[in-house]
């Protein structure tokens, strides 16, 4: 009997600006999902937020890409958008890029991470929720969790992990994917995923011989790129991820350890700047300084044998991450001093879908040839 974990999120209005989700939107989504739970569409749910992104965490038995579950998420976002409009919230319905729901939310604006799994005797799971950044922001931490022995001691000392993992990487420009094996193809993997705006880790799988079947994901990341759907800048993708832990997978602390280093990600201020990602508890996921710096929230769960979500535990609500937060503030200050200069501002090719081309166009006729 398999259980599916679905995390579906959308920005349907900020309070104020792009800062955070209004509590009434959370209540509205909770009402919609509570009814669906009563009717048996889903087993359990939790509504969270990260910055201005509303996060639906659901368990059910309908598999990935289920029209029922995606339709439910769409309905929750639509209902909450009505409230956002009543309240005059900023960018009400921002991420609902299509008018009518047609089977699943992929390509419609919301971000999706889902996995269908056979529950282990005990199933510890972490859901990650980022704001003010793009899917490639997960490349470095997911790599470190599942492939870096300096992060994950289990890769060295646990015989169940010692053979490594398989990474499914998407080329989001060419719409192609490749599976690379670690540790054998570590350098090939890094050659791709270091270019995080183009090559994005979509899933991680175990290898043959692992207690978990090799086609069952152990991590999955949302890879929707909003500008590709909308054809213009409509805010940042603000990705989510689901990661399973323990028993032949990274321990909970190995799953969280990469975030002790607030690495640089893109998506801050107008989706156009690089900055450090700051690990925070949910109550601190209200980006304000220069609309940031980018945030990541980690929620910890045990999935009960019936598929109930036992949690959340707000995992970055721990003074052990104070140093990372302090470091992120130092980097914030350092990056901000660059003002409109790269590499604080994104390189030109990544600015293509922002409002910058509009400014450059106005200068076009002023240019003359150099002799």
- Positions that interact with ligand 13P (CB under 6 A): 11, 18, 51-52, 94, 131-132, 235-236, 238, 251, 253, 269-271, 291
Q: How far apart are CA 201 and CA 171, in angstroms?
A: 9
Query: What is the number of other CB atoms lying within 10 angstroms of the CB of residue 368?
Result: 6
Catalytic: which of 9, 11, 52, 353?
Answer: 11
Q: Does 225 bind Mg ion (CB under 5 A)?
A: no
Residue 74 token pair: 């769409």
Catalytic: which of 9, 233, 350, 353?
Answer: 233
85 is a catalytic site residue:
no
Q: Does 239 bind Mg ion (CB under 5 A)?
A: no
Strands 111-118 and 44-50: unpaired
Q: Which of 309, 254, 307 is nearest to 116 (CA)?
A: 307
Q: Does 185 bind Mg ion (CB under 5 A)?
A: no
* Least spacing, CB of residue 292 vs ligand 13P, in Å: 7
The one of Mg ion, ligand 13P, none whose footprint includes residue 244, by CB under 5 to 8 A per kind, is none
| Residues 54-113 contacting Mg ion, CB under 5 A | 91
* Least spacing, CB of residue 94 vs ligand 13P, in Å: 6
* Least spacing, CB of residue 32 vs Mg ion, in Å: 21
To which H or E segment does residue 48 belong? strand 44-50
Residue 260 token pair: 């002790």
Query: What is the number of other CB atoms lying within 10 angstroms of the CB of residue 246?
Result: 16
Give the x-and-dash track for 123-162 against Mg ion (CB under 5 A).
--------x-------------------------------
Catalytic: which of 236, 237, 314, 353?
Answer: 236
Nearer to ligand 13P among residue 24 and residue 247 (C-beta): 247
Which of 4, 7, 10, 11 is the binder for Mg ion (CB under 5 A)? 11
Half-sphere exposure of 324 (CA within 13 A, CB side): 23
* Least spacing, CB of residue 356 vs ligand 13P, in Å: 13
Q: How far apart are CA 142 and CA 148, in angstroms?
A: 9
323 is a catalytic site residue:
no
**Do residues 12 and 122 make contact, with C-beta atoms less than 8 angstroms apart?**
no
Q: Does 236 bind Mg ion (CB under 5 A)?
A: yes
Nearer to Mg ion among residue 44 and residue 53 (C-beta): 53
* Least spacing, CB of residue 215 vs Mg ion, in Å: 30
233 is a catalytic site residue:
yes
Which stretches of the chain are DSSP H helices? 23-39, 67-87, 139-147, 154-157, 186-193, 226-230, 252-256, 268-271, 322-336, 356-363
């Amino acid at each position: 009997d398999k259980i599916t974990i679905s995390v579906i999120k959308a920005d349907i209005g900020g309070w104020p600006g792009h800062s955070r989700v209004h509590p009434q939107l959370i209540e509205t989504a909770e009402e919609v999902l509570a009814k669906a739970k009563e009717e048996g569409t889903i087993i359990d749910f939790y509504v969270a937020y990260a910055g201005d992104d509303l996060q639906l965490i659901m368990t059910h038995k309908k598999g990935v890409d289920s029209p029922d579950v995606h339709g439910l998420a769409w309905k929750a976002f639509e209902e909450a958008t009505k409230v956002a409009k009543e309240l005059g919230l900023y960018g009400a319905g921002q991420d609902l890029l299509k008018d009518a729901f047609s089977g699943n939310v992929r390509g419609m604006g919301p971000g999706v991470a889902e996995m269908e799994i056979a529950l282990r005797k005990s199933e510890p799971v972490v859901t990650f929720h980022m704001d003010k950044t793009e899917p490639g922001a997960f490349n470095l931490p997911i790599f470190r969790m599942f492939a870096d022995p300096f992060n994950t001691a289990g890769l060295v000392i646990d015989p169940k992990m010692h053979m490594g993992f398989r990474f499914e990487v998407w080329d989001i420009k060419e719409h192609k994917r490749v599976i690379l094996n670690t540790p054998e193809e570590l350098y090939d993997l890094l050659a791709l995923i270091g270019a995080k705006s183009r090559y994005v880790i979509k899933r991680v799988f175990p290898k043959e011989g692992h207690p978990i079947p090799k086609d069952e994901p152990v991590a999955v990341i949302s890879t929707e790129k909003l500008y590709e759907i909308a054809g213009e800048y409509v805010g940042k993708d603000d990705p989510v991820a689901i990661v399973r832990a323990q028993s032949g997978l990274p321990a909970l602390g190995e799953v969280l350890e990469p975030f002790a280093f607030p690495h640089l990600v893109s998506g801050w201020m107008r989706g156009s700047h690089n900055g450090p990602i700051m690990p925070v508890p949910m109550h601190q996921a209200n980006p304000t300084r220069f609309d940031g710096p980018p945030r990541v929230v980690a929620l910890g769960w045990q999935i009960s044998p019936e598929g109930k979500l036992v949690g959340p535990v707000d995992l970055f609500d721990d003074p052990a991450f104070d140093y990372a937060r302090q470091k992120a503030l130092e980097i914030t200050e350092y990056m901000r001093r660059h003002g409109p200069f790269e590499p604080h501002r994104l390189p030109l090719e990544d600015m293509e879908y922002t409002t910058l081309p509009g400014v450059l166009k106005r200068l076009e006729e002023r240019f003359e040839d150099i002799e």
